[in-house]
Structure 1
Amino acid sequence: MIQGKTIAFLVAPEGIEQVELTEPWKAVQQAGATPRLISTGSGRVQAFNHLDKADTFPVDATVDEVSAADFDGLVLPGGVANPDFLRTQPAAVRFAQEFFEAGKPVAAICHAPWTLVEADVVRGRTLTSWPSLQTDLRNAGATWVDQEVKVCTAGPNTLVTSRKPDDLKAFCQAAVDAFGG
């Protein structure tokens, strides 16, 4: 049960795959937790349905205003542009690293593990992602598997990963389970 917990959703100002934000967000809410949208800047973020602009969402706080200590877990939605931008932002990378240092669960889908590669937290872990990331993940010391969802407990925290939007049902369930554990 994750009743009363607060889960951070870290996103770039634009390029988030909308369904990879909204479906885990709903799953966290339905499980009784409070999701909060964290970005590198204030205002609103622009989501996409693949390459087409979709909805915008209000940012609750910036990475400079919060730390992992403020949250019980982290979700990293995908979209190609989203993690590609985040991995170039030292404050965003540091924010993700803090969850691993604190032993808090992290869930990342699709291209989102790029941010974790930059944070240097995948070494010795087994995870999945969008297939084009497998070489990057292996080069960063991870074992890549082609599975709907992979839950890895080999490190300081639980890491939940999935490949793509088609995996969202399994991803959301595994993430909520990890946040409750």
Structure 2
Amino acid sequence: MKKALILFADGSEELEAVTVINILRRGGIEVTVAGLAAGPLRGSRGTVLLPDTTVDKVRGADFDLIVLPGGQPGTDRLRADARVILLLQQMAQQGKQVAAICAAPSVLAQAGLLDGRRATGYPGSLDEFPAVQRQTTAVVEDGKLITSRGPGTAMDFALTLLEHLTSKAKRDTVEAALVR
């Protein structure tokens, strides 16, 4: 069974996180949500989520995908955390899928993963990274890196992640059951 890790900080966008969690689990992916801190964390819109574990406890574990939701100030907290940067770099070096949505592609850029690569994100979130080839489409795939623009693109982002971890047929089955 494929395994995905979703990182969540106080102030992360809960719609993006929960959409990815839900779609991946519908597709049979084992999802682990790791918080930057232990215990309940409050999302950017005030929804409280209880992560399964912490970043410290998943270091060294084997995942096929790591996902960062956006939102503020959650993205800034992810970006400032050396454990997150190291985890992203390790996943990329291992040839694993790395994904981020909304403002969180800036965390990938901070980790040096988007230099010379195509990516999208919330408007303005990648402006300080001139080496990123910024795109405006809802979801951008560049090799093992997948980025998306924001809460409104979360469903397309999550379905794209599912397809990469499984197959187009599995994506189509899950999407059909959503009655989109």
TM range (shorter): 0.7 to 0.9
Whether 2:157 is the aligned partner of 1:165: answer no
Q: 1:57 aligns with which of 49, 52, 57?
A: 49
Matched residues in 1 for 2:34 and 2:93: separation?
Answer: 19
Q: Which runs of 4+ in 1 moved over 4 A?
A: none
Q: Normalized against structure 1, the TM-score is what?
A: 0.86
Q: Which amino acid aligns with 1:6?
A: K
Matched residues in 2 for 1:37 and 1:133: separation?
Answer: 24
Contact 2:109 2:132 in 1 (8 A): no
- Three-state SS of the structure 2 residue aligned to 1:24 is helix
1:101-120 to 2 correspondences below 5 Å: 101-120=93-112
Tell me which moved more, 39-48 or 62-71.
Answer: 62-71
Deviation per CA, 1:127-170: give whole Å up to 9, x if none. Answer: 000011231232xx2100111111111xxxx1111111111221
Q: Normalized against structure 2, the TM-score is what?
A: 0.87
Whether 2:132 is the aligned partner of 1:142: answer yes
Whether 2:67 is the aligned partner of 1:78: answer no
After TM superposition, give the deviation of residue 69 of structure 1 in Å. 4.3
Matched residues in 2 for 1:36 and 1:58: separation?
Answer: 11
- Three-state SS of the structure 1 residue aligned to 2:128 is helix
Q: Name the residue aligned to 1:45.
A: 41
Contact 1:137 1:143 in 2 (8 A): no
Matched residues in 2 for 1:68 and 1:121: separation?
Answer: 20
RMSD: 1.5
Deviation per CA, 1:87-128: give whole Å up to 9, x if none. Answer: 111112111111111111112100011211221111121000
Q: 1:132 aligns with which of 124, 128, 139?
A: 124
Q: How many residues align?
A: 167
Matched residues in 2 for 1:105 and 1:82: separation?
Answer: 21
Residue segments in structure 1 that go unaligned for 5+ positions in a row = none
Q: Name the residue aligned to 1:93.
A: 85
